[in-house]
Chain A
């Protein structure tokens, strides 16, 4: 158990819909990362937040957005969902934001878009 929690564990929805994925980092961790794992794209970095502020952006679609709240939990919002958005979405956290920090991953949210 990494100490990172994600909810829900599974999500099934329809095309065009909007969903919110939630992540609680390990106690004391200030930085949160979102990754997407799909069969065709592999594991890809989406976005990073540090203490409430966006720090880095990866291959995140404009239909996707994220935020980190004052209590340090984070939410990833996916809108206008398409079939291709079906994937496993991971949240990870680290103590600080620099690269010299290990990232600890949550169990993931498996999203299925029908």
Chain B
């Protein structure tokens, strides 16, 4: 069974500081990995995705994530956080099962940004 662990429920950073959100996954085959962001009362916006190839992937809004197979991790990073980044962040794993696919999400990390 596939699963995702986001060990940090809540993180607070100062505006301008760097950010790293942790994500560990469990998946029996080659995983496809995603980060989504959810602002209060909003839907989920895709930040970035990893399917294969370069293990460092760039996303929108200045975010990047690094896939580390040996550590089963896909941590999200941003060098300088802006106040507008305050939101909840979800890591998700999926896989190639022919024409069927589903995403399994972590429990999310709520990011608070202090000015």
Contacts and interface: CB of A to CB of B under 8 A. Distances in A.
Contacts, number: 72
Given A33-B102, A100-B32, A108-B43, A43 B96 contact: no
A48 B43 contact: no
Contacts of B36: 105
Interface of B: 32, 34, 36, 42-46, 49, 51, 90, 94-108
Interface in A31-55: 31, 33, 35, 42-45, 48, 50, 55
Interface residues of A, number: 30
A40 B60 CA distance: 30
Given A106-B43, A108-B43, A42 B99 contact: no
Interface in A62-81: none
Contacts of A28: none
Given A90-B44, A103-B94, 17 more contacts: A2-B45, A31-B101, A33-B103, A42-B107, A42-B108, A45-B103, A45-B104, A58-B102, A92-B44, A96-B99, A97-B99, A98-B101, A99-B94, A99-B96, A102-B34, A103-B46, A104-B46
